[in-house]
Structure 1
Amino acid sequence: MKSCVTIALVPQIKTGPWIYWNDLEASMAKASALGFDGVELFTASADAISPQRVAQLADQYNLQIGAVGTGAGKVIHGLTLTDPDPAIRTQAIDFITDMIAFGAKVGAPAIIGSMQGNVAPGVDHEQALSWLAEGLNTLGQRAEDQGVSLIYEPLNRYETNLINTLDVGVNLLKGLNNKAVALLADLFHMNIEEPSLSESIRMAGSFIGHIHFADSNRRPIGLGHLAMDEVATAINEIGYSGFISAEAFPYPDSDQAAKQTIESFTHYFG
C-alpha cells in the first residue's frame, strides 16, 4: 500500500477536504519530507497545470501522482454525467476525457465523484443510472486506451441520490462493458452509509482501486471515532496494494493534518 495526500489547486474553492492548498511545489516538498509515497491532485481543468511540470516535480521530490480529481467540472461548470440535457452530458464526458488524458501523462487515474451528478426532478432513477453507466462505459474505454484506470466513487446520501454504498457500486461496475473502471472506497462516505465498513470492504474486494483516508468527521484519521483497526484489517485481508489517500479537512492546519495522516498510515499499514 502507498500513502498519499491531497492537494487542492482550484482558485475558486476556498474550503474543503484537501490537506494541502494552492502551491503545488511547496505542497509536494512537504509531502516528500514527511515520507508520503504520492499526491492526489484536484485541479481546475486539464490544462490548468502542465503535466510536464507535474512530472518534473514528482521526479524531483520522489513522489507518484496517485490520482487526479474531476470535481471542478461540476463545481465550476455545473457539468454532470446524469444531467437531463444530453448536451451537458456530452460536455461532462469531454471534460473528464481531458482529465483522463492529463492523468495518463503523469501515470495517474482520474476520479469521478461529484461529476456523477444526481437523479434530477422528474427523471426516473433507472434512467439516471443508465446515463451514468453510458458515461462510465465511454470514459472507461478512453482510460483503458491511454493505459490508466478510471475510478468511480460512491458518495453519501447528502451528496448524491444515485449510488451510496460499495455493494451497489460493485453491481454498477459488473454491468459495464469494460473492466477499466474501479471503485473508490471513501471511509468518510462509508461511515455514513455502510452497516459495516470492514464487511463492505471485504465484499468489494478486488473492485476497490483507490481509498480515501478520512475519519468519521472528515478530519485526518485518528481525530474522529472510526473503528480504524477493523477497517485496516479488512483492507489488508483483500490484498489491497493501491494508494490510501488523505481526502480530509486540513485540521487544525495543513501541516499538522499531514503529519497526523502519515503517522496514522504508518501505524495501520507501515
Structure 2
Amino acid sequence: MNKLGMNLFVWTMTMDEDLSDTLSFLKTSGFDFVEIPINDVKLEKWQRLGQQLAELGLEVQACTLCSSEYSLISPNDAVRQAGVAYLKQIVDCAAAVGATILMGPFYAGFKTFTGKPATQAEWNWSVTGMREVAEYAQTKGVILAMEYLNRFETYLLTCADELVRYVNDVNHPNCKAAFDTFHANMEEKNIADALRKCAPYLVHIQISENDRSTPGQGHINFNEVFAVLDEVGYTGPMAIEAFGPNPPELAAATHIFRPMFDSPEQLAVDGLKFIKSERAKGRKSVPV
C-alpha cells in the first residue's frame, strides 16, 4: 500500500514556526509522513526537526525550489555553479531531517522567464548540473524527484514528455520523477496517458485539486488517476498538496487570496478520507 502524507505548505513556508501541535495532529489523524519545504541550509535546524519527527513516528519527505540566484539554466556560469552548490546543501538538509526523497522544480529558477522557449543550451546546463547534484545525493541516500510545473511557473519542464526526456538525459539512478495532478490537469491532454508515460520513473505523487483546495471537491478525475496508478502498480508515497491565503508569502506566489477550505486541519482530514476511500475501490483499467 502507498504511504500517505501531507504537504505542510498550508501551515508554513519555512518550518521556523513551532508546529508541534500540527505534527501531532497529522500523526493521530492517520498520516504516514509529512512533506516539508526546505528553503534554507541551517543543518542543525533540520537535524532537530528530524529528531522530533522520529519521536512522533512520522516519516518525512522534502521539497524545494531554486530562486533565480541559484538557477541551473542561468546564462551566468557562476550562478549555475552556485545553484549546484546550494542544492548539495539542500540535499544535506534533506538527509539530516530523515527524508529519502527531495522533490520539486529545482532544475531551473522558479518563475524566472526569458519570454522565449527553453534553448538547447539551457537544457544542457540544467541536465549537467542536475547530474552532479544526483551524484552527490546518491552518497546521502536521497532520491531527487523532478516535478514539472505549469507554463505560468516555469518554462523548462511543463509536461510529462519533457519530464521523461529530462530524467533520461540526466541518466542517473538518483534522479527520478514526481507527478502533481494540479499541473497535469492544466498541461496534459490526457492525465491517464501522462501518468503511464511517467510511471517507470515515478517515486512521488502529489494529490492536488484543480483549485488547490481539498482533493475530491474539485473537477479532477481522481477515479481515473487512481485507476492508472493501480494499473501501473505504483506503490510509492502520495502527499496531499494544497494552498490557502496563509502563509501570505505563499499566497502571493500561488495567487490564492480567497479561502479555499474551512481550515488546514479540516482539509487534511477530508483529503485523507477521500484518498483512502478511492484507494479501497476496485477498478477496471482506464482505456488506453
TM range (shorter): 0.7 to 0.9
Structure 2 counterpart of 1:86, from 71, 77, 96: 77
Distance (whole Å) between structure 2 residues aligned to residue 79 and residue 42 of structure 1: 17
Match of 1:144 in 2: 138
Cα contact 2:118–2:156 (8 A) shared by 1 = no
Cα contact 2:209–2:219 (8 A) shared by 1 = yes
Q: Displacement, 1:263? A: 0.8
- Which SS does the other structure have where 1:152 is aligned? strand
C-alpha RMSD over aligned residues? 2.2
Residues 112 and 255 of structure 1: is their aligned pair in 2 closer, same or farther, counting only changes over 3 Å?
Answer: closer
Residues 83 and 114 of structure 1: is their aligned pair in 2 closer, same or farther, counting only changes over 3 Å?
Answer: same
| Residue 158 (structure 1) aligned with residue 161 (structure 2) | no
Cα contact 2:117–2:155 (8 A) shared by 1 = no
TM value normalised by structure 1: 0.88
Question: Residues 62-108 of structure 1, C-alpha deviation per residue, up to 9 Å, x if partnerless?
Answer: 1100x21222x42xx74211112111111111121111111123132
| Residue 254 (structure 1) aligned with residue 264 (structure 2) | yes
Distance (whole Å) between structure 1 residues aligned to residue 118 and residue 55 of structure 2: 50
Q: Letter of the aligned partner of 1:262 in structure 2?
A: L
Question: Residues 90-149 of structure 1, C-alpha deviation per residue, up to 9 Å, x if partnerless?
Answer: 111112111111112313222231552356358861111111111211111111121221
| Residue 263 (structure 1) aligned with residue 273 (structure 2) | yes
- Which SS does the other structure have where 2:126 is aligned? helix
- Which SS does the other structure have where 1:225 is aligned? coil
Question: Residues 181-210 of structure 1, C-alpha deviation per residue, up to 9 Å, x if partnerless?
Answer: 111100000000111111211122121111
Match of 1:31 in 2: 26
Match of 1:69 in 2: 63
Q: Displacement, 1:21? A: 9.2
Distance (whole Å) between structure 2 residues aligned to residue 247 and residue 123 of structure 1: 28
Structure 1 counterpart of 2:206, from 199, 212, 229: 212
TM value normalised by structure 2: 0.82
Corresponding residue pairs, total:
258
Structure 1 counterpart of 2:100, from 93, 102, 108: 108
Residues 227 and 260 of structure 1: is their aligned pair in 2 closer, same or farther, counting only changes over 3 Å?
Answer: same
Q: Displacement, 1:224? A: 0.9
- Paired-residue identity, %: 23
